[in-house]
Structure 1
Amino acid sequence: MNNRYLAALTLLSQASLIACTPTRVGDQVALNSPATWQHAPNAQTAEKADLKTWWQGFDDPLLNELIDQALAANLDLKIATARVREANAMVTVAEAALYPSLDFSISGGREKRIDRIVGVPSGQGIKLITPTADAVSGGLAARWEIDLFGGRHLQAEAAAAQAEGSKEGLHAAQVGLLAQVTTNYLELRGVQQRTGILQSNIAVQRERLRTLQAFVKAGLANEADLARQQTLLQGTEAALPGLTSTGEKLIHRLGVLLGEPPESLGSRLTAVGPLPKQAPIMPNLLPADLLAQRPDLRLAQKEVSAAAAGLGSARADLYPKLVLSASGGLGALAVGGFPSLADSVYALGSGLSAPIFNAGRIRAHIAAADARLEQVAANYEKTFLLALEDVENAFVAHRSANDSLGKLTEAEASAEKAYRLVDALYQRGAGNYLAVLDAQRRKLDVSDERAKAETAVSVAMVSLYRAFGGGWIIASSDREMEKALAR
């Protein structure tokens, strides 16, 4: 009898491991992916861009240091890493339900009951006493719910998909972090460059004001010219505090991104540095490549898989459940001064249960899981459309900024030429000093616009790499991923 029972148990255990899951739901979502980009540059470079370390293309050692520090100390990454560990632990919890549970228990106690009277021989005859009983028992109990229709397996699959999704969330946080650090750093260098240009412009306008004051005293200019110059100078000076404040805020933001107090980077970044000139290579991925490269899309797909598994698990509740159980143990009883009595027991059992009436609870659970799957599927499609929008907008922004930079570079060269010609005439005595100052001021105004456009080109390139999902490393294990983050 025991052998046949064990054989049946073995067969059932093997069947549970290889059983098909009739309640499984497909997790494929059809996405309408365009074949090419609408606003991509016509001339694409043949060299393949390195999406993992794209920021190194700016060839700025300080930027590389800031990136390394952010990857090691950023608090958002630490939060996302902890979420990965939490999700991995929940996978173990879900998978544990697939296996038998074995529990050990032991209990003991002493009791004295007034309704139990025992006659004990004594020197004076039979003496009635209420004895004290000591009882001790212990044993093992095993229970196993056979996953006949795959509900438990699907729950484990849902937990595994959620764990994979948490890893993609970590990757997405890394992509966003790298883009934020680089963007803020480039904008800071652009602001510092513009601040220097503005200070030069203020110096030129102050010189022009002093010259006009001298001309007014000499009768060569009138008070109206002097008032206009004062107004121009004061307006230009009013722009300086705004630029200074913007630079300080960018430094504070970088400090927080690097996991430090806002003011911690002041000494390292207050010193004016050049705007990085060398830009990374233009990414040349196709729209369909975003599905594998962008972490937010991979996360959305994992959410679909988890929801599909959850729906299948909910449907499995409609089917019967088979439970196997076994228990065994020893017990001892000692009453008064009598010898203790020991006994051993064991029990084997099985049970089958099926839902008949539950006031619609199971059907409602299935409807909720189905609605959840519909939500995440729609979110997957929406996320893909937003990803396409990100890339197209980044292409447009880069092209627009690049066109502006080209025109402003030409305008700056023309303004520089005009300034040199006017200055040459003045040096030969054939020109006016005020004309020299005006030409210099116009050149500085164009230089400021050129600096803004140059910053915009670099920031648009960063947006492109972020839109393509650049900046995360596919690791084969959590340990390798943590090493990559701590490098």
Structure 2
Amino acid sequence: MKRINIITLLVAGIFSGSMLHAQETLTLQEAVKFALENKAEAKKSKLDVENAQYQIDEVRAGALPQISGSASVKYNAIIPSMPLDMGGQTTYIKMGQPWNSTAAISVNQQIFNQSLFTGLKAARTTREFYAINHQLTEEQLIEKVANAYYDVYTTQLQLETIDSNLGSTTKTRDVIAGLVQAGLGRKIDLDRTNVAINNLQANRQIVINALELKENALKFAIGMGMETDIVLPTETFDIDAGLAGYAVSELNNRTEIQILEKQNELLELNRQNIKADYYPKLSFGGDLGYTGFGQGFPLGGDFNWFGTSGLGLNLSIPIFNGGATKAKVNQATIKIKQAQVDLEDTKLALNLANENARAQIKNSLLTVDANRRNTQLAQEVLNDTNNNYRNGLATLTELLDAENALSDAQNNLNTSLLNYKVAEIQLIKANGKLKTLVNE
């Protein structure tokens, strides 16, 4: 698999709007920043925040004067006649002229409309909701990217472990091959060593394939093109034993809780909007216009114009609608109660996640420490066994077993480091500080 410096990120930046400098490796902070600028979820949530202001503008427009103009022209091909009885004689009089036209401008201003006032409050609350939702989207994206990032790193460590073991076994094979060639070693030992090398090479290819898949998953998680080659830094697993004593912040500070509370506010405003149907509506209306009649076309013909104007108040009072409004209010109340149940359940789930994260941190610290000591011990055993084998005091089986034991110890250490990092992310999330992964 190709693994070169990320100079191709300059090309990816042309299409994504974000660039990483040439000769730089992809750190966790760079990966997160790249995702926040390029991943679809982040882009869409930003657009939702922008769109919320347009929703406010739309509702506010209803409180402003509504002005409209109209005009029409009509040709009466057949003018209707009306009979009139005059002195016992019936006379037919044509009602109208061949041409008539109207032009008017009208204005309407809401004076009292409870639904409109509630809508303005709901629009502002909606903007706050989308702002919190954008923050939650970013936090979820950071968590996803961090997990994918450390998953890639763990696989890289597995590959390094196999490469180290392969190098050690290859050196042992070369020594045995020299002994066999000199007539001092057994060919069966050489064959067994070659089998071990072949197995390691096969496992190495499996890990390489898995690493490529996980790198692609990381690229997708941050919105990076699949054609871009990435390189992670050589050291990322820093262990902070102080995390075990972290005190989790109040749940009310969690974005998940804030967004549910804001949803409850919106549901309450929806209920108030429904209740607005109980209130009367008052508006002012006025119009100014002209009506014209004539024998010819309005422009240039025999045509006369007459001005018209009117001002008035429009009052609408609800009296009885069969209980439809009450039923709608009750439905809205049920939705509020359901949302409150969801809020309490979310708090319970977050409490569980917080306690699990703290417990996992403590367990991971103990496991990492134990695996590190075990890896060091396995390395010492291998060194002693290798020395004994060269002096004829240990068998090849013991040497290969020692190499496998070291490989297992190193893989266990890598796994425990990944588990620690995953728990660390969850604990940082529990404290509402995932954004610190961007600013570190």
TM-score (norm 2): 0.77
Number of residues of Structure 1 aligned to a counterpart in Structure 2? 397
Question: Considering only aligned residues, what root-mean-square deviation do their CA atoms show, in Å?
Answer: 3.7
Is 1:314–2:274 an aligned residue pair? Answer: yes
Q: Return the offset for 1:291.
A: 1.4
> 2:375–2:409: 8 Å Cα contact kept in structure 1?
yes
Distance 1:341 1:152, change over 3 A: closer
Distance 1:398 1:224, change over 3 A: farther
Match of 2:162 in 1: 198
> 2:425–2:434: 8 Å Cα contact kept in structure 1?
no
Alpha-carbon distance in 2 for matches of 1:100, 1:86: 23
Match of 2:44 in 1: 79
The letter of the residue matching 1:325 is: F
SS at match of 2:224: coil
Distance 1:373 1:287, change over 3 A: farther
Match of 2:382 in 1: 419
Q: Return the offset for 1:135.
A: 1.8
Q: How does 1:343-362 map to 2 (within 5 A)?
A: 343-356=307-320, 358-362=321-325
Match of 1:137 in 2: 103
SS at match of 1:137: strand
Is 1:282–2:262 an aligned residue pair? Answer: no
Distance 1:396 1:348, change over 3 A: same
Q: Return the offset for 1:252.
A: 0.9
Q: How does 1:387-466 map to 2 (within 5 A)?
A: 387-426=350-389, 430-432=393-395, 435-466=398-429
SS at match of 2:292: strand
Alpha-carbon distance in 1 for matches of 2:59, 2:248: 36
Q: How does 1:4-23 map to 2 (within 5 A)?
A: none
The letter of the residue matching 1:93 is: E
The letter of the residue matching 1:291 is: N
> 1:290–1:469: 8 Å Cα contact kept in structure 2?
no
> 1:110–1:134: 8 Å Cα contact kept in structure 2?
yes
> 1:324–1:349: 8 Å Cα contact kept in structure 2?
yes
Is 1:64–2:29 an aligned residue pair? Answer: yes
Alpha-carbon distance in 2 for matches of 1:280, 1:140: 73
Q: Return the offset for 1:282.
A: 3.3
Which string of whole-angstrom CA distances, capped at 9 and with x for unpartnered residues, describes residues 63-85 of structure 1? 33222222221111011111222
Match of 1:171 in 2: 135
Match of 1:327 in 2: 286
Q: Return the offset for 1:403.
A: 1.2
Q: Return the offset for 1:408.
A: 0.8
Which string of whole-angstrom CA distances, capped at 9 and with x for unpartnered residues, describes residues 100-143 of structure 1? 433333333343433359xxxxxxxxxx9995223232122214
Is 1:107–2:59 an aligned residue pair? Answer: no
> 1:304–1:377: 8 Å Cα contact kept in structure 2?
yes
SS at match of 2:47: helix
Alpha-carbon distance in 2 for matches of 1:242, 1:400: 30
Report which stretch shifted further, 235-244 or 325-334: 235-244
The letter of the residue matching 1:306 is: L
Q: Return the offset for 1:306.
A: 0.6
Q: Which runs of 5+ in 2 are unaligned?
A: 1-24, 83-93, 296-300
Distance 1:306 1:179, change over 3 A: same
Alpha-carbon distance in 2 for matches of 1:197, 1:469: 35
Q: Return the offset for 1:316.
A: 2.7
Distance 1:411 1:107, change over 3 A: same
Which string of whole-angstrom CA distances, capped at 9 and with x for unpartnered residues, describes residues 300-350 of structure 1? 110011111111222232x23132222121214141265513223122123
SS at match of 1:85: helix
Alpha-carbon distance in 2 for matches of 1:437, 1:200: 14
Alpha-carbon distance in 2 for matches of 1:414, 1:133: 107
Alpha-carbon distance in 2 for matches of 1:129, 1:69: 76
Q: Which runs of 5+ in 1 are unaligned?
A: 1-59, 118-127, 474-484
> 2:122–2:266: 8 Å Cα contact kept in structure 1?
yes
Alpha-carbon distance in 2 for matches of 1:136, 1:428: 115
Distance 1:66 1:281, change over 3 A: farther
Q: Return the offset for 1:237.
A: 5.0
> 1:95–1:153: 8 Å Cα contact kept in structure 2?
no
Distance 1:435 1:284, change over 3 A: closer
Distance 1:280 1:182, change over 3 A: farther
TM-score (norm 1): 0.70
Q: Return the offset for 1:384.
A: 1.6
Q: Which has the higher contact order (CA 8 A, sep 6+)?
A: 1
